Chains A and B, each alone.
Chain A
Amino acid sequence: MSETGTGKDQFLDLFVFETNQLLEQIEKIIINCEKTKSFREDDVNEIFRFMHTTKSSAAMMGYLSLSELAHSLEDLFALLRNNKNRSYDFHNFFTLTLAGVDAIKSFVSELENGTQPLESTNKLKEQIGLYIQELSSVDRLEPKVTKSKESMKLDDNTGNLPQYDLNVFFNDCGQSENIRSHLLAHTLKKYTTELITYPKELLKPGNSETIRKHGLHLLFNPSVLLSEIEEIVKSTVLLNRYTLEETAKIKDLQKRLESTYVQSMASLEQPKNAGASMHSDIMAVRVDKMDMLFNLVGEITISEAMVTKGHDLNALRADQFRRESERLSKLVKNLQDIVIEMRMVPLEHVFQKMNRTIISLADTLGKEISLEVYGETTEVDKKITEYLTDPLTHLIRNAADHGIEEKEERKRLGKPPKGIITLSANRVAGEVWVSVEDDGRGIDLQHIYSTAKEKGLVTKPFEEHSEKELFSYLLMPGFTTKEKVTELSGRGVGLDVVRENIARISGAVQIESKVGMGTKITLKIPLTLSIMGAMQVVIGKSVFSIPINMMKETIIPKDVKIVHHIDGNEIVMLRGQCYPVIRPEQQLGISGYEAISDGILILVEGHENSACLFVDKIVGQGQIVVKPLPAYIEKTKGCFSSCTVLGDGTISLIIDIKQLLNEF
């Protein structure tokens, strides 16, 4: 029944949702601006529009201080908009804008959490107001000419111009010239500064053609010996030829290149427009509606299978029926695929947040760090993205804090002064691998061992550990190798919480590292939580499902030795290892076969321990749709937290292996 309260809630929901959407887009723009250290005309307009919209909707909702803040930012950008030829100090503008957007963001998230937002935006408003006054009072006749768009891009931190032009041609790579170029540029980045490529957006597929025609141009200043750079270029795969020239007339060269690569410039503008039209291509749908749709489609799939594959028809010819039911089957399969796709969202949203994190991190730590992102279009189930944000944030914090060295140290080590953290995602089989890689210090295995020893965690000498085992110490609670706990990380709770969060979505954490070179931590997570591979087994009268990712192997009892303990427990000896046997009567409350020799043993593996589950027989295997058990019977769930509906309409309980091993 609707009470008067829900009316306001609806508006609040909408306000929060829309403002968050806009905030995401604005953040993207701001981050780009930070990279190029300039506000392009489009950016200014976009930011102005955003502030304007926020001002009005905040006022409508009664959030006056938020509205006023947006208003002052709107004024700030109005100034920019109306005085296009003025020069301005990018840094001030950027800092104020960023502070403003942050304030709006935290205001909105307070609203989301249902807490009263702090009305403390006055100081910021004042600052902005003062700045605007300052700017407006300066004489309009300032002759300083704004740096043109092009020259803005030339400048970077050191303000130098690249002195060398490398022109590379590849052998026929069958359309992958852009990727080859990208790899080369990526490699060279580590050994150069002021690196500019033509075409600019290497990964755009259309550019392969351009690169084939004009080759790839790389303008740079080397930070190592030129001969070393040549060596790298020479060892590039599928290299056809290259020229490397020192050039003084950089500006002329650039003008020439810009017009040659006109195509790439056009493609640079395209994303902006694509972005604009994206606004209307996206629809917001309530999650519960999606869940209902998902449920129903699952039911249709089962129902269709039961109708079309029913035994009643075996004897009849019913040709047309069979033809039409095949068509129906295909349609239903399509429908199911689409519904699954609908729940997938690109990781872009999660990665966006990381971009933002890096900027403030680098600032706080006083280090120079750039974040490179790959594979942000990779999609995962929406529910999973919610579990990824915190772990990723922590990993990036770790990389920035512990991994990347201070500027001076990097210089001493011959590394480029700007540390690089690479965030990437890609699909591997039924999983998504998201990794955070840095080119920093790397992890010292000896150091891990000694810290673990101090905490009494080791059970064998250093030499007997595999690399994997040593790294796994890092994932234990309370572990930290940093001497001083910094505000950001180093409290030792981080990696353990990461591991647990990832384990909760049935994923895993992998650590790779080389001292002096860097560290790479990979999160391996399933594509979707609602569908997984499972094996169906019979115990007693019912069919149960066991998730395949928890299963190591199936064992026929007569192939192994079974030892009976005095206390009644049974143990299986397999290839020199001992595994306890789990009897379903004791642990699950279901009775099946008595003698182990009549049934099958399934070796299941948890994080810390493994065991053999004894079942009657295996009856099937395949992809299943996971449904949670009703909350009403939650208290008595035990080792069953979810179920699935099998192809014949019966319900099969899914055995929670983790819980089972915990309780054992």
Chain B
Amino acid sequence: MQMSFDKPEEIEDTVKGKYLIFTIQNEEYALEIRVVDEILEMQPISEVPNLPAYIKGIINLRGDIIPVMDLRLRFYKEFREYDSRTAIIVVNIASTRLGLVADRANKVIFIEDSELIKPPEIKESDYNRFVTAICKTENKIKLVLDCEKILTDHERTELPSF
């Protein structure tokens, strides 16, 4: 009979290894739960002039004014009209709160570190720099995103997207 004890490290960090899976243009992406504050339904976004196109504007979240970024536009994909199931994923990185728009927010799954594979070294395409790893679970490929890069990386390589 084998008794399995929870390894001490696992008890400590209950969010480690958990990822939020969401969809953009039929591709699945993953974000560490650690940086996700909450998930909101789509709501009216107030425009702010002179912002980059991928920042749609700001919303009022219980008194906190939060900017909202459309990930499709951020990843240089085609814009898609928002519907009732479009989600705003509120992330929190280094005290900066930001809302990310995704087509659908799906579920939370557990991904072992060993399942994460470094992304292939393909030509520096536009949004590859946001992807830190790839993982294949349940027969679908999920791209694990580097949230900090999404926030801070403002360089644009003038390349046609694939």
Task: Mark A residues whose CB is within 8 Å of B.
Answer: 295-296, 298-299, 541-542, 588-590, 627-633, 636, 638, 640, 643, 645, 649-653
Contact = CB atoms under 8 A, between A and B. Distances in A.
Nearest to A542: B47
Contacts of A299: 62-63
Nearest to A297: B63
Contacts of A296: 62-63
Contact of A629 (B52, B59, B65, B97): B65
B146 to A, nearest CB: 17
Contacts of B60: 645, 649, 651
Interface string B77-99: 00000000000000000001110
9 contacts: A590-B49, A628-B65, A633-B48, A636-B48, A636-B51, A636-B52, A643-B46, A645-B60, A649-B60
Contacts of B67: 630, 632-633
Contact of B51 (A542, A588, A631, A633): A633
Interface centre among B58, B60, B63, B67 (most CB of A within 10 A): B63
Contacts of B58: 629-630, 633, 643, 651
Given A542-B47, A632-B96, A643-B65, 15 more contacts: A296-B62, A296-B63, A299-B63, A589-B50, A630-B65, A633-B67, A636-B50, A638-B49, A640-B48, A643-B46, A650-B44, A651-B58, A652-B46, A653-B46, A653-B48
A313 to B, nearest CB: 22
A296 B63 CA distance: 6
Interface centre among B60, B96, B151 (most CB of A within 10 A): B60
Contacts of A630: 58, 65-67, 96-97
A492 B121 CA distance: 62
Interface of B: 44, 46-52, 55, 58-60, 62-67, 96-98, 151
Given A632-B98, A633-B55, A640 B63 contact: no
Contacts of B55: 633
Contacts of A651: 46, 58-60, 65
B49 A632 contact: no
Contacts of A633: 48, 51, 55, 58, 67
Ranked nearest first, the 7 interchain pairs of A and B with the lowest CB-CB distance are A589-B49, A295-B63, A651-B46, A299-B63, A589-B50, A636-B51, A638-B50
A541 B55 CA distance: 18
B143 to A, nearest CB: 23
Nearest to A298: B63
B49 A588 contact: yes
Interface centre among A590, A627, A633 (most CB of B within 10 A): A633
Contacts of A541: 47
B97 A640 contact: no
A631 B65 CA distance: 10
B96 A295 contact: no
A632 B151 contact: yes
A627 B48 CA distance: 14
A20 to B, nearest CB: 27
A221 B65 CA distance: 65
Nearest to A539: B49
A288 B132 CA distance: 35
Contacts of A590: 49
